[in-house]
A and B are shown apart, each in its own frame.
Chain A
């Protein structure tokens, strides 16, 4: 299978400018400079490149939202805040192939006519930020960043900006506020970042992987990229498999690969010879699937059709013998911890969900608690400034819908049938 990103990741030196160029790096940039910015955007549209951060918004369409008039400078911001539980692919790109990201940034900024880019990288990724910083310095030294890049007359400055520990900053407007030095509160939309974004300027926020795909798209053409995937979801994806599998890790596969195949073929099946109990397919915020539901294409539309999401490409595999209530409790703790606190339904709702589920797991569940959780989820979903409330509610709802018995048992027996452990 053709790979777009990981082709040379086996070579540890690939993160260095000299090795990257030996493998053909920055040739795409040269080609891009000979193109018209509009042409590049067209290729990205033809590529059916869906945002790789989790929302899956078509990148070419998002790029088209920038105002036609160039009077206000536009900027690109890279979302390297990778915080969705089960997701760990951007880290691989940044440590193994940072120049893919940088070359993608230069091409994208040229296409968008942006002259400033910030890479917002989650604070915990200290080593990763250092690697990217070194790569950025190499790019400046080689003339691929800064003034008059490759004699093209195009200027671009890139700055690595570290976050400081907040999952919510993966949401694009929260990220922008955090970049501006504020608390990571998401913003009301409209206005959208493309009209009022970072520092009040028209801004495009894209995920690391989305931008890293750009050089290949320029080299081989959008249609070729699209053909690697399926109709509305072009190209390959970096899919991270974690949990109880034999070969956890990041796999570059077609966007239309089969989910069952991901787990049983690529990731080597369930650890310790156990049976599969459940799969959270696209990062913790996506509705859980039962084993009989995973024989499905992993592309965005197919996953949506069965009531879940491909999301951030983080497949979490849950084996038999795992307490689903306890698993949900871990997730509810997470969302309550990460809620920014700005709007009422999420701030209070995530805290309440955490308490109810925790109570049920501790054997102190009350009659009506399950209905209360579902009612609470109903009051949270679609009522908030950003989707974190939905991200907390979707696991809660789906766990209850698909594993109701376990919740009933916990409440009925006033104890965890699994002995309060995983």
Chain B
């Protein structure tokens, strides 16, 4: 392990570590743009120049590997002048777009200018080189070539990560410009990442454009619910509205990336939500109060089981529920209601597209969890649907907004065969239009819990803000229902439910929220 001395601090680093990464270990921040840990080293921005003893010229920290005994200084006058010099040169053609640029507040140029620049421009406005602005280049991206600092991160991403190479530099010198080939826009499922990696406002998100200044946003850790990959995300919100999802670093799952479809899953948490409990009376919706509706639901379910037998009660679980929620639901269904008719399906409407990178065919975040927690799927689900269609069910508890891949008409005609249908769901859809009672539940942003991804990795998602409107945390709904059915549960929240789950469910044995941490933990196979 070579030892590096940087600004007087000693640090041992693994063989092959660069000065830039070694510096991070001891909290020394070396400014840089073109370097990205998941892309090849470019060394072209020249911001990370540092003094290395025995080298006559300044060296780029991003590309210089630490050798034993190396001595580096990053805060000398020489380095300071170099960094300021590079920054000045980077800014001479940069348009003064800050007031209208989405990147403001999270912009590499702004940040380093405040730290290393603070100079007055020596360059005449009328001599600036102009390039094409505001281009829709396909995917989720808007390109403003004039703002580009030519760090080449986007070119490297499209070459090394997606292999699609839609962007390249054209021309040379200070007329070099990032562009797509005319008529060949971005055509891959990961375009959103370009806005993340672009240090400035050259590549920005179409969806997020002009929606909110970033300094008004707060963030929380979550998991994307778009498919069973479980990409780790940072969810950004203001008040109780989500504005965007960005990938959160996790080398075991999604590295630094997420797919375009997943990025837009936040919209469903904002739009067409079920926010008030209601019942359907004579074909019309009638608002109900939690205080009276929950006891009624519990009563009706119990009554149906008592009268016609447990076989006349069915529970459809959702692979969108957390491990904790599925665990409680299973216990309610099997022990408390004695219902043998418990099933789930990962099937959704759509084409089930998958690729060899992040996108999984299963478009639910927790099918694996449902399966590991003993909730039957596959043939059991089909059999359950058949029973319902044959009129064999008197009371049905449905979690989720849809029933598998059934259309609105199919759902309506299926649920019409059941006298009492209670839904615990988040959004308007086929089920809310046909259910007898609707219990609005919290979205993934409004509660905490864990999902198990396709590879058996258990990951935590956290609460961002309290449930909107009158929606409730489904865990609360389940605890309330369970206790009204005689469960006697005293769980305080999802952490304690998980502790119980880990004690009895073999795949989760020995796990805890502590052991899951921020990067997740694999189940016992």
Contacts of A379 in B (CB 8 A): 81-82, 85-86, 88-89
Knowing A336-B174, A341-B169, A341-B174, the reply to whether A348 touches B58 (Cβ < 8 A) is: no
Q: How far is the CB of B320 from chain A (nearest CB, A)?
A: 47
A383 lies within 8 A of B169 (CB): no
B129 interface hit (Cβ, 8 Å): yes
A351 interface hit (Cβ, 8 Å): yes
B176 lies within 8 A of A383 (CB): no
A344 lies within 8 A of B176 (CB): no
B82 lies within 8 A of A348 (CB): no
A350 lies within 8 A of B89 (CB): no
Q: Pick the contact of A352: B82, B92, B175 (CB < 8 A).
A: B92
A347 lies within 8 A of B173 (CB): yes
A 333-353 to B, binary, CB cutoff 8 A, 1 in contact else 0: 000111111111101111110
Contacts of B41 in A (CB 8 A): 188
A344 lies within 8 A of B172 (CB): no
Q: How far is the CB of A196 from chain B (nearest CB, A)?
A: 13
B43 interface hit (Cβ, 8 Å): yes
Contacts of B92 in A (CB 8 A): 348, 352
A219 interface hit (Cβ, 8 Å): no
Contacts of B127 in A (CB 8 A): 355
Which residues from 350 to 376 on chain A have a C-beta closer than 8 Å to any C-beta of chain B? 350-352, 355, 372
A131 interface hit (Cβ, 8 Å): no
Q: How far is the CB of B109 from chain A (nearest CB, A)?
A: 12
A404 interface hit (Cβ, 8 Å): no
A343 lies within 8 A of B82 (CB): no
A349 to B174 Cα, complex, angstroms = 9
B interface, over-half SS: loop
A352 to B127 Cα, complex, angstroms = 9
B150 lies within 8 A of A383 (CB): no
B 321-333 to A, binary, CB cutoff 8 A, 1 in contact else 0: 0000000000000
Contacts of A183 in B (CB 8 A): 169, 172
B86 lies within 8 A of A350 (CB): no
A323 to B294 Cα, complex, angstroms = 93
Knowing A345-B46, A347-B150, the reply to whether A339 touches B89 (Cβ < 8 A) is: no
Contacts of A337 in B (CB 8 A): 173
Q: Name the residue on A nearest B122 (C-beta).
A: A372
A384 to B173 Cα, complex, angstroms = 14
Q: How far is the CB of A306 from chain B (nearest CB, A)?
A: 20
B 84-97 to A, binary, CB cutoff 8 A, 1 in contact else 0: 01101110110000
B120 interface hit (Cβ, 8 Å): no
A166 interface hit (Cβ, 8 Å): yes
Contacts of A188 in B (CB 8 A): 41, 43, 60, 63
B 29-51 to A, binary, CB cutoff 8 A, 1 in contact else 0: 00000000000010111110100
Q: Name the residue on A nearest B90 (C-beta).
A: A344
Knowing A341-B169, A372-B122, the reply to whether A348 touches B63 (Cβ < 8 A) is: no
Which residues from 78 to 123 on chain B have a C-beta closer than 8 Å to any C-beta of chain A? 81-82, 85-86, 88-90, 92-93, 122-123
A385 interface hit (Cβ, 8 Å): yes
B172 lies within 8 A of A385 (CB): no
B174 lies within 8 A of A351 (CB): yes
Q: How far is the CB of A296 from chain B (nearest CB, A)?
A: 25
A150 to B58 Cα, complex, angstroms = 50
A378 to B77 Cα, complex, angstroms = 14
Contacts of A336 in B (CB 8 A): 173-174
A345 to B82 Cα, complex, angstroms = 10
A382 interface hit (Cβ, 8 Å): yes
B 8-32 to A, binary, CB cutoff 8 A, 1 in contact else 0: 0000000000000000000000000
Q: Pick the contact of A350: B44, B122, B149, B173 (CB < 8 A).
A: B173
A379 to B82 Cα, complex, angstroms = 6
Q: Name the residue on B nearest A185 (C-beta).
A: B44
Knowing A355-B127, A382-B58, the reply to whether A342 touches B49 (Cβ < 8 A) is: no
B211 interface hit (Cβ, 8 Å): no
Q: Pick the contact of A348: B47, B56, B93, B172 (CB < 8 A).
A: B93
B43 lies within 8 A of A344 (CB): no
B169 lies within 8 A of A344 (CB): no
B307 interface hit (Cβ, 8 Å): no
Q: How far is the CB of A285 from chain B (nearest CB, A)?
A: 16
A 186-214 to B, binary, CB cutoff 8 A, 1 in contact else 0: 00100000000000000000000000000
B57 lies within 8 A of A344 (CB): no
A287 to B344 Cα, complex, angstroms = 79
Knowing A341-B173, A383-B49, the reply to whether A348 touches B89 (Cβ < 8 A) is: yes
B169 lies within 8 A of A348 (CB): no
A408 to B172 Cα, complex, angstroms = 33
Q: How far is the CB of A361 from chain B (nearest CB, A)?
A: 15
B173 lies within 8 A of A344 (CB): no
Contacts of A349 in B (CB 8 A): 89
Q: How far is the CB of A344 from chain B (nearest CB, A)?
A: 5
Q: How far is the CB of B264 from chain A (nearest CB, A)?
A: 35
A233 to B176 Cα, complex, angstroms = 40
Contacts of B150 in A (CB 8 A): 341-342, 344, 347
Contacts of A343 in B (CB 8 A): 43-46
Q: How far is the CB of B160 from chain A (nearest CB, A)?
A: 15
A345 to B84 Cα, complex, angstroms = 11
A183 to B170 Cα, complex, angstroms = 9
Q: Pick the contact of B44: A338, A344, A355 (CB < 8 A).
A: A344
Q: How far is the CB of B403 from chain A (nearest CB, A)?
A: 54
Q: Name the residue on B nearest A341 (C-beta).
A: B176
Contacts of A338 in B (CB 8 A): 173
B46 lies within 8 A of A344 (CB): yes
Q: Name the residue on A nearest B175 (C-beta).
A: A341
Q: How far is the CB of B441 from chain A (nearest CB, A)?
A: 52
B 138-161 to A, binary, CB cutoff 8 A, 1 in contact else 0: 000000000001100000000000
A338 to B172 Cα, complex, angstroms = 8
Which residues from 3 to 62 on chain A have a C-beta closer than 8 Å to any C-beta of chain B? none
- Could you jot down 30 A-B contacts, CB within 8 Å? A336-B174, A337-B173, A339-B173, A339-B174, A340-B172, A341-B169, A341-B171, A341-B172, A341-B173, A341-B176, A342-B150, A343-B46, A344-B150, A345-B46, A345-B86, A347-B89, A348-B90, A348-B174, A349-B89, A350-B174, A351-B129, A351-B173, A351-B174, A355-B127, A379-B86, A382-B58, A383-B58, A383-B82, A383-B86, A385-B44
Residues of B near any A CB (own CB < 8 A): 41, 43-47, 49, 56-58, 60, 63, 81-82, 85-86, 88-90, 92-93, 122-123, 127, 129, 149-150, 169, 171-176
Other A-B contacts than A341-B175, A382-B58, A383-B57, 16 sampled, CB-CB below 8 A, are A188-B43, A339-B174, A341-B150, A341-B169, A341-B173, A343-B43, A345-B86, A347-B150, A347-B174, A351-B174, A352-B123, A355-B127, A378-B85, A383-B58, A383-B85, A384-B46
Closest 6 CB pairs of A and B: A379-B85, A341-B176, A351-B174, A348-B89, A339-B173, A382-B57
